[in-house]
Amino acid sequence: MKKRILYAVLFLVFFSALFSELNASLEYTPEEFANRRQTLMNSVRDGLIILFASPGNAGAGHFRQDNDFFYFTGCEDANAILVMVPDTKDSFLFVPRKTDREKMMEGGNSLDDAEARDRLHFKAIYPVSYFDEFLARFLGRREAVFYLRLSQEDSVSESRSETALFLARRHRNPYNAQLNLNLFRVERFRQLYPAVQLKDVTPFIDSMRMIKTEKEIAILRLNGRISAEAVKKAMLASKPGAYEYELEAAAVEVLLRNGCRGPAYPPIIGSGPNTCILHYEKNNRRMESGELLLMDFGGDLNYLTMDITRTWPVSGKFTEEQKKIYQVVLEVQKACIEAFKPGVSGKDVQAYVAQKMKAKGIDPLGLRGGLGHLVGLSVHDVQTGELVLKEGLVMAIEPGLYFPEKNLGIRIEDTVLITKEGCEVLTSEVPKEIEEIEALLARRKF
């Protein structure tokens, strides 16, 4: 027993050290962001590009910058504005002037840092109160076009279209039907600058954000390993009689120990009937032997997310029926991953899956496979146009079969990087083969 504890401690020390060393080399450099601004200005070419930082912290979570603002600045100042001038290739940052009291409570921002302008490659850093005067001066001289985010914002857990969807749902109740911040800003521009043509910068941003840079790929690889370890720890924490939230605790600990801000979305840990609720997040049910557990989980590391789902039996052994359905989902998921390579569309993947299932004599039970969703600064990352796979895209593939009448839902999800010839599974370190899962669960003692 003592020996086991010693090994556990040694493993933990080694494990933490390994990941933290990797973490240190994965800091973004200011040049990464300056280069992105140049690329964006090269493709937009006219007018002004204007992007907004998050206004401030909300709720109990840690501050997380607006995705588009972060992508082009790396700056975590709240309530700031970024202006890019494609004509001169200059960038300007506008930041609130903090009072002494604010500085004492929260620390300063880029305005208080004399070297920030040079280090971050801005032409100037101004107080945000100068922003409208800056625009007035600019409008006196040049053709009036502002490139704004006319589409919705995304967040760590929600895509641009989900933001729009949730807003539409909120507006079902007329007493909650105010504009969100993004739309309010557009309205304000229309009121203050009626002669200025407003154009959407979002498609330009999205085509850049879709293809991951070398640094982003390194961060995503590490996040894949950390998030996989987290799911493995949750698998080992599962047992008949345990509560779903106990698994959440085990998994989140691995994220926090390894430098993630936290989960990329509310962890989904459903047992029995809850395996059939796709976005279940109460995580407060007691699990029993004979049931399945479905866990959908991923970390948020340096503003890049991860998405994994595994399904396993609480008892440690699949029943024959569970095994049969699990095998179908697994074969479809593996066939999708086999089909992933540059040039492939969703239809191509479906055709490959159908042919593969036929050759193996497996009834896919209506499951067809496909492309899944992109992963990046948001776990449901940005996308422009009809999706065809390209080198540098990162995708989650997540086929699932759900039978509420049997309290049986199975989903298997990995996040993959599209490479020159195929794809690299970033989350491969958490088992998904039946024998591997049962072998891992056999290590539990209860």
443 touches 232 (CB < 8 A): no
251 touches 233 (CB < 8 A): yes
Report if residue 300 touches Mn ion, rule: CB under 5 A: no
Report if residue 398 touches Mn ion, rule: CB under 5 A: yes
89 touches 45 (CB < 8 A): no
Structure tokens that stand for 54 in this block: 């998050």
Residue 6: what residue type?
L
| 32/236 Cα distance (integer angstroms) | 39
- Minimum distance of Mn ion from residue 373's CB (angstroms): 6
The residue among 382 and 396 lying less far from Mn ion, judged by its C-beta, is: 396
The residue among 125 and 332 lying less far from Mn ion, judged by its C-beta, is: 332
- Minimum distance of Mn ion from residue 396's CB (angstroms): 4
Give the one residue of 307, 331, 381, 414 binding Mn ion; rule: CB under 5 A: 307
Q: Are strands 90-95 and 124-127 parallel, antiparallel or unpaired?
A: parallel
- Minimum distance of Mn ion from residue 411's CB (angstroms): 9
The residue among 120 and 394 lying less far from Mn ion, judged by its C-beta, is: 394
- Minimum distance of Mn ion from residue 255's CB (angstroms): 17
Report if residue 396 touches Mn ion, rule: CB under 5 A: yes
Q: For the chain, how long is the longest CA-to-CA vector?
A: 77
Q: Taking contact as CB under 5 A, which single stretch among the options 196-204, 245-253, 280-288, 395-403 is the one that binds Mn ion?
A: 395-403
Q: What is the rounded radius of gyration, in angstroms, for the C-alpha atoms of the chain?
A: 24
> DSSP state, 157?
S
Q: Taking contact as CB under 5 A, which single stretch among the options 68-76, 306-314, 351-359, 402-410 is the one that binds Mn ion?
A: 306-314
C-alpha dist (Å) from residue 125 to 33, 49, 75, 90, 118: 16, 16, 12, 12, 10
| 246/285 Cα distance (integer angstroms) | 10
What phi and psi values does residue 215 have, to the nearest 5 degrees? -65, -45
- Interface of this chain with Mn ion, residues 230 to 289, rule: CB under 5 A: none
Three-state SS string over 97-123 comes to CCCHHHHHHHCCCHHHCCCHHHHCCCC
Beta partners for residue 401, in sequence order: 410
Which helix (H) or strand (E) segment holds residue 415: the answer is strand 414-418
Q: Taking contact as CB under 5 A, which single stretch among the options 166-174, 300-308, 352-360, 432-440 is the one that binds Mn ion?
A: 300-308
- Minimum distance of Mn ion from residue 372's CB (angstroms): 7
Residue 174: what residue type?
P
Q: Taking contact as CB under 5 A, which single stretch among the options 181-189, 203-211, 317-325, 389-397 is the one that binds Mn ion?
A: 389-397
- Minimum distance of Mn ion from residue 427's CB (angstroms): 11
The residue among 246 and 307 lying less far from Mn ion, judged by its C-beta, is: 307
The residue among 246 and 398 lying less far from Mn ion, judged by its C-beta, is: 398
Q: Taking contact as CB under 5 A, which single stretch among the options 20-28, 270-278, 305-313, 335-343 is the one that binds Mn ion?
A: 305-313
| 17/25 Cα distance (integer angstroms) | 13
- Minimum distance of Mn ion from residue 309's CB (angstroms): 7
The residue among 73 and 163 lying less far from Mn ion, judged by its C-beta, is: 163
- Minimum distance of Mn ion from residue 397's CB (angstroms): 9
Structure tokens that stand for 135 in this block: 């625009």
Q: Are strands 394-397 and 304-305 parallel, antiparallel or unpaired?
A: unpaired
The residue among 229 and 413 lying less far from Mn ion, judged by its C-beta, is: 413
Q: Taking contact as CB under 5 A, which single stretch among the options 207-215, 248-256, 261-269, 301-309 is the one that binds Mn ion?
A: 301-309
Residues in the interface with Mn ion (CB under 5 A) total 3
- Interface of this chain with Mn ion, residues 180 to 219, rule: CB under 5 A: none
Residue 133: what residue type?
E
The residue among 65 and 305 lying less far from Mn ion, judged by its C-beta, is: 305
Binding site for Mn ion (CB under 5 A): 307, 396, 398
